[in-house]
Amino acid sequence: MEFRTKSIHIGEEPNYKDGGTGDAVVPLHLATTFARKEVEIPTGGYEYSRSSNPTRKAVEDKFAAIEGAKYGLGFSSGLAAESTILFALVKSGDHVVCIDDVYGGTQRLFRKVFGEKYKVEFSFVDATNAKLVEAAIQSNSTLIWIETPTNPMLKICDIEAISKIAKAKDVLLAVDNTFMSPYFQNPLALGADIVMHSTSKYINGHSDSIGGAVMCNDDAIFEQIQFMQNSVGAIMSPFDSYLVARGIKTLGLRMEQHQKNAIYLAELLEAHPKVNKVIYPGLASHPQYELAKSQMTGFGGMISFEVKGDILNAKNFLEAVRHFVLAESLGGVESLIEHPALMTHASVPIEDRKKLGISDTLIRLSVGVEDIKDLEQDILQALAKA
């Protein structure tokens, strides 16, 4: 099956068996527990909803299908998915190599929780250079964690090259694929061991559900993560599973429109006199444009750019837009705009932000699927006020 067919049909095959009603859409199963006819056998295959739930199973089957994976798991947030991966696969005294420009919340989780509290060692490196990843690997390294493209600098890592290094050094590679969604990039096919998504973004796509997903192919990795998920209880609720399953059905359609609008606006911004620089993987000016074309099937809907001037010019712009909602998060049908240094990446130490290029004039756009004429007008009138 092709992507859009899978995203609609997998996990929602009508059930006519044993008096099943043949729902064309997965029902919302709110039951926390499931009755059995015999003491030792769960009659319908389900026991207790923390361990597994029919609505969650439907969305988990979709997660696996759209990433081309054997297994999918649904979590209560992207960070819950990340925490569970680390609890399952990393222990105190282990070392993790992480890309430097990682989402601020991920960096906080790694440094403050796993680093300071559980004594896991981290090296934050510029993983756009695979050699730096290789050089950072130590005898106690067990995991490499990358985001590509990164949040918010849209740096791109060579997944295939890093996966070869990981295999040679017997270290696992996990990729946060939130920015591209499974429609534009499939890290498992490029050699990654684990893929993670914040489903709060493109996968759900409507800014009305916080969730996370993990996909993998290896039986042992899956069993460890599933065991940990059931043990710590970081599960996607039935209602969120229902919403996310619904969102996935239009993921392909939405990603095409996000990208179309983003390409248009990236070119508009790049040519504008009040703009310093534009970072978008689909622009020939992006330093890894060739790599982007080779490992992704599209460029997505995220743009970062700097307005000319100082923080006041940036604030004027941010407060002047009308159709772009000034808010954290990304990947919804509505366009969002934010200031990484003051909002999503405020928890990243200031020296690190400076090194990464998260400046006071950097603005991040999550380009929605609205009519491009309205978005264009909005950007132009706000730039006039910047």
Among 83, 106, 142, 259, binds ligand P1T (CB under 6 A): 106
Tokens found for residue 349? 């130490």
- Judge whether 164 counts as a catalytic residue: no
Helices (H), 185-237: 219-232
Among 126, 256, 328, 376, binds ligand P1T (CB under 6 A): 328
- Judge whether 308 counts as a catalytic residue: no
Q: Is 123 a residue that touches ligand P1T (CB under 6 A)?
A: no
Question: Is there a contact between 379 and 265 (Cβ–Cβ < 8 Å)?
Answer: yes
Q: Is 165 a residue that touches ligand P1T (CB under 6 A)?
A: no
- Judge whether 16 counts as a catalytic residue: no
Binding mask 264-303 for ligand P1T (x = CB under 6 A): ----------------------------------------
Q: Is 77 a residue that touches ligand P1T (CB under 6 A)?
A: yes
Residue nearest to ligand P1T (CB): 78
* Separation between Cα atoms, residue 121 and residue 81, nearest integer Å: 20
Helices (H), the chain: 3-9, 54-67, 78-89, 104-108, 130-136, 159-168, 181-184, 219-232, 238-248, 251-270, 289-295, 311-320, 350-356, 372-385
Among 7, 53, 141, 151, binds ligand P1T (CB under 6 A): 151
Residue 134 or 338 with smaller CB distance to ligand P1T? 338
Tokens found for residue 192? 């990654």
Query: Taking Cα atoms as reference points, which of 114, 113, 138, 134 lies closest to residue 125?
Result: 134
Q: Find the part of the chain contacting ligand P1T (CB under 6 A) among 57-65, 73-81, 136-144, 318-326.
A: 73-81
Q: Is 178 a residue that touches ligand P1T (CB under 6 A)?
A: yes
Torsional sign, CA 65, 67, 68, 69: negative
* Separation between Cα atoms, residue 192 and residue 184, nearest integer Å: 15
Catalytic residue set: 50, 103, 176, 201
Give residues in contact with ligand P1T (CB under 6 A): 77-79, 103, 105-106, 147, 151, 176, 178, 198, 200, 210, 212, 328-330, 344
